[in-house]
Amino acid sequence: MIRIANVEMNDFITVASGIVPDVLDYVDRVCEVVKPASITLKTLTKNPIEPHKAPTVAKLHDGCYINAIGLGNPGLEFLKYMNRWGKCQFIVSIGGSSVKEISEVASKVKNFGEIIEVNLSSPNRRGFGESMSAYAKEVTQAVKDVVGKKPVFIKLGPWDSILEIAGKALEGGADGLTLINTLKGMKIDLNSLSPMLSYGTGGISGKCIHSLAVRIIHDVYKEYNTEIIGIGGVFSWEDAIELMSVGAKMVGIGTAILELGLAIVPKIREGVEEYLAEKGLRLCDVIGKAVRK
């Protein structure tokens, strides 16, 4: 059991956004078999968005991928199915192409899930995601105005300006931050000498961004001492402990599930529990321990 933003979670692991398909039976299976603290849903927008045309995903090397799904989602129509989901706690991810639009989505989802996560960092759809990061304070204020006491986390990317943007989100009233989203990159097909993904660029995820996630979470936690859900290349219990030691209270697992399957979730949990038992520590003893204030 862990408490984050005044919400009691059953565990320290969440499944990252975009990993679990929005299919009721499959979601129920994940909840029953893997027992994560929560599942973070795919980002919902006001209106449906078609995914980019294939190819949308490419493997760079073991444990490292690049993708450009492009925030494909069914829009708010999806909410009519969510009342049937009760076997997991959920983090509801939302997005939009304006402050007003994101606020409207927030007003519709405020009664679902334990936490609302605002995606201001996806690099794969022009006008959405990272395109809205310049308005982090305004977006956060608008969302907080309509959701009441529901905790709001802002998901940000691995940018040079991360401390400034994180500060703006917290000034706007964010209850915490999700760090980090994918790193914008490109992969070239050497046969056609053109970008491998249809969108051209894509978000790099997995092992190759783990050290970047560690550094950014460290810097943000040191600066603001805020609640953080840490994401970025978690493939082992060691990776999870690293993110928690620099300030993450919960850890998101994404690419590892794609590569190794759902069994990696309990394996990481068991590894963390064994580490804590061996060291005679509690989880709260680890969180932020590597950060010098």
Which amino acid, 273? E
6, burial (CB in 10 Å: exposed 0-12, middle 13-18, buried 19+): exposed
The DSSP secondary-structure symbol of 188 reads: E
Report if residue 291 sits inside a domain: no
Report if residue 16 sits inside a domain: yes
Mean pLDDT score, 28-51: 90
- Total number of domains in the chain: 1
pLDDT of residue 84: 67
Question: In whole angstroms, what is the distance from residue 171 CA to residue 179 CA?
Answer: 17
Question: In whole angstroms, what is the distance from residue 208 CA to residue 66 CA?
Answer: 11
- Whether the per-residue pLDDT at 82 is higher than 80: the answer is no
List residues bridging with 116 in a β-sheet: 92, 152
Report if residue 292 sits inside a domain: no
Report pLDDT digits (tens) over 221-238.
Answer: 999 999 999 999 999 999
- Whether the per-residue pLDDT at 76 is higher than 70: the answer is yes
Catalytic residue among 97, 103, 122, 205: 122
The token duo for 145 is 């105005």
- Whether the per-residue pLDDT at 26 is higher than 90: the answer is no
pLDDT of residue 69: 94
- Whether the per-residue pLDDT at 83 is higher than 80: the answer is no
Report pLDDT digits (tens) over 169-186.
Answer: 999 999 999 999 999 999
Report if residue 177 sits inside a domain: yes
Report if residue 240 sits inside a domain: yes
Nearest-10 crossing angle of helices 237-245, 264-279: 60
Report if residue 9 sits inside a domain: yes
* Average pLDDT, rounded, for the chain: 94
Handedness of CA 208, 214, 215, 216 (dihedral sign): positive
Q: What backbone phi and psi angles, to 5 degrees, belong to 242?
A: -55, -50
pLDDT > 70 in the chain, percent: 98
Report pLDDT digits (tens) over 238-293.
Answer: 999 999 999 999 999 999 999 999 999 999 999 999 999 999 999 999 999 999 76
Handedness of CA 75, 80, 84, 86 (dihedral sign): positive
Report pLDDT digits (tens) over 96-131.
Answer: 999 999 999 999 999 999 999 999 999 999 999 999
Report if residue 11 sits inside a domain: yes
Q: What does pTM read for this prediction? A: 0.95
pLDDT band for 216, please (50, 70, 90 cuts).
very high
pLDDT of residue 37: 83
pLDDT of residue 36: 87
Q: What backbone phi and psi angles, to 5 degrees, belong to 146?
A: -105, -15
CATH number at residue 148: 3.20.20.70
- Whether the per-residue pLDDT at 22 is higher than 80: the answer is no
Contacts of 198 (CB under 8 A, 6+ apart): 52, 53, 54, 55, 56, 68
194 tagged catalytic: no
Of 12-26, 124-138, 206-220, 250-264, the range with the lowest mean pLDDT is 12-26
Report pLDDT digits (tens) over 42-65.
Answer: 999 999 999 999 999 999 999 999
pLDDT of residue 85: 66
Report if residue 90 sits inside a domain: yes
Domain limits for position 163: 2-286
Contacts of 95 (CB under 8 A, 6+ apart): 43, 44, 45, 71, 102, 105, 118, 119, 120, 122, 128, 129, 132
Report pLDDT digits (tens) over 125-151.
Answer: 999 999 999 999 999 999 999 999 999
pLDDT of residue 28: 83
